[in-house]
Amino acid sequence: MNNSFRILLIIAAIVVFLAISSVVFVVGIYNGLVSASQSVDAAWAQVQNVYQRRADLVPNLVQTVAGAAQFEQSTMVEVTEARASVGRAQLNTNQAPTDPAQLAAFQQAQGQLGTALSRLLVVSERYPDLKSSQNFRDLQAQLEGTENRISVERERFNTAVQVYNIKVRSFPAIFLAGFMGYGPKPYFTANPTSETAPSVKFDFSNKK
């Protein structure tokens, strides 16, 4: 085997090695992005589940409150309309939103419902018969538990998005992510006035 042929073999081996290494490198980046994106989608599914659970509580809550004599109709209307707005803003997808405007609209609608429900619980303090209703007490406890769960799942979603966005924006994935169809995803933003668990605590010590 002459030297020229040996050199060609070495060059060919180097080219093959580099090609294989490049493929493995790119596949590794792609798999990392896929895994991080799926984690975000899974967290988003949980967010939607807990928000849906809260929406499902509204009809029973409104029906129970409607039985209280002279209960403020404007409060009930506000809750009902806020729930309808949530339905219109619902993102019917199993994938986390990539458009910040879509997520903002979703969050705004959910925040309005949260605020309306909190106001309803505050108003209910004026109605002893309603407060003593076992059905209402059960619904109120479920609502508070759901609001707490919403806070937890939103935080988990933001954590998953943060991990994903770091991958997308890190070197060398930043040069390949867009080409592969992976761009940054938006976060839930802090909204303490509308996305906190209702703080109303009923006092049943005087219950007859």
CATH of the domain at 149: 1.20.1440.20
pLDDT band at residue 196 under the 50/70/90 scheme: very low
Selected residue with higher pLDDT from 194 and 38 = 38
pLDDT of 154 reads: 96
Higher pLDDT, 90 or 197: 90
Residue 62 falls inside a structural domain:
yes
pLDDT over threshold 60, residue 181: yes
Distance of alpha carbon 77 from alpha carbon 126, whole angstroms: 18
pLDDT tier for residue 5 given thresholds of 50, 70 and 90: confident
C-beta of residue 29 within 8 angstroms of C-beta of residue 167: no
Residue 64 lies in a domain: yes
Assigned domain for 203 exists: no
pLDDT value of residue 92: 64
Question: What range defines the domain where residue 160 resides?
Answer: 3-180
User: What residues contact 118, with CB distance under 8 A and at least 6 apart?
Assistant: 196, 198, 199, 200
The mean pLDDT value for 150-169 works out to 96
Q: Indicate the residue type of 49.
A: N
Any domain includes 197: no
Inside any domain, residue 190: no
Is residue 199 pLDDT above 70, yes or no?
Answer: no
Does the residue 205 lie in any domain? no
pTM: 0.82
61 within a domain of the structure (yes/no): yes
Show contacts of 161-168: CB within 8 Å, 24+ apart: 161/40, 161/43, 161/96, 161/185, 161/186, 161/187, 162/187, 163/36, 163/39, 164/33, 164/36, 164/37, 164/39, 164/40, 167/32, 167/33, 167/36, 168/33, 168/36
Query: How many domains would you assign to the chain?
Result: 1
Rounded mean pLDDT, 19-32 = 89
Question: Hey, what are 5's tokens?
Answer: 């042929």
Place of tokens 């990539």: 98
Q: Is residue 187 part of a domain?
A: no
Q: What is the pLDDT of residue 68?
A: 74
Confidence grade of residue 151 (pLDDT, cut at 50, 70, 90): very high
